[in-house]
Amino acid sequence: MPARFAIYLVPPADSALWDRGCRWLGRDPETGSVHAQPAVPGFAADEIRALTRSPGHYGFHGTLKAPFRLAPGVDEEELLDKVQHLAGSLPALTMPALQVDRLNGFLALRPAGDSTALDGLAEQFVTRLDDVRAPIESAERTRRLSSGLSARQQELLEQWGYPYVLEEFRFHMTISERLDPMQAQRLRPWIEEWFAPALAEPPAAVDVGVFAQPRAGAEFTLRRRFRLMS
């Protein structure tokens, strides 16, 4: 499988939010450091690993442009150049106040108030960098369609390679697998306490990160950070 790339919003590397997110998920996708995940009362260590496997695989982030393969003739350096140019043309953005929330069964950090600026940022990266994206593959299209997309989400999938963009976009930083109601009830209070120090003082800035997955099954790593225009 050709490498996949993604464009994610990430807190600054020296922020409490980045530290708490990476430690909770068990790894830092930028440095490659592996963290011992915190002990959660009532949960075995292997249960916590299982409940964070998928978000840990992708690395702590908020999606701007979901994973994609590069269009023919486009290489990683060209992608990085385009992301840098676009990020440098956009106004700086502070991380909004976040809260632990439940989204489609997952626990995630979600904006506590207005998310217009984040929505607009994601739209810029989805639409203005679409030329670097290869068309969606048939297997991926079939998998997405089998999940029960609305008519509008099917249109977005065909046009942009992902169904949850533009007006269907919901900014979130995933921190668990899909949980059953009992799991969520048990884990959520502890998660809220774990992230509370970082959420009390959101970072003054955010970065745009280019992540890469070099081969099928490999974890995503943060290749380069870019700061929005200050």
SS3 content of the chain, % helix, strand, coil (to 5): 40, 25, 35
| Class of the domain covering 4-227 | alpha beta
Amino acid of residue 187: L
Q: What is the pLDDT of residue 1?
A: 62
- Tokens standing for residue 42: 């009532």
Task: Output the pTM of the full model.
Answer: 0.95
Query: Is pLDDT of 129 > 80?
Result: yes
Contacts of 124 by beta carbon, 8 Å cutoff, 6+ apart: 86, 90
- Mode of pairing for the β-strands spanning 173-178 and 106-111: antiparallel
Query: Is pLDDT of 94 > 90?
Result: no
Helix (H, G, I), strand (E, B) or coil at 116: helix
Please provide residue 175's backbone torsions phi and psi, each rounded to the nearest 5 degrees: -130, 10
Mean pLDDT of the chain: 95
pLDDT digits (tens, 9 = 90+) for 98-112: 999 999 999 999 999
Q: Which of 62-66, 113-117, 128-132, 222-226 has the lowest mean pLDDT?
A: 113-117
Q: What is the pLDDT of residue 186?
A: 95
Helix locations, the chain, DSSP H: 16-25, 45-51, 53-58, 76-89, 116-128, 138-145, 151-160, 181-200
Q: How many CB atoms lie within 10 A of CB 173?
A: 21
Q: What is the pLDDT of residue 230?
A: 61
Match 């929330």 to its residue by tokens: 101
Query: Is pLDDT of 146 > 90?
Result: no
Q: What is the pLDDT of residue 51?
A: 97
Mean pLDDT value of segment 81-101: 94
CB 223 within 8 A of CB 211: yes
Domains of the chain, by residue range, sit at: 4-227
Percent of the chain with pLDDT over 70: 99
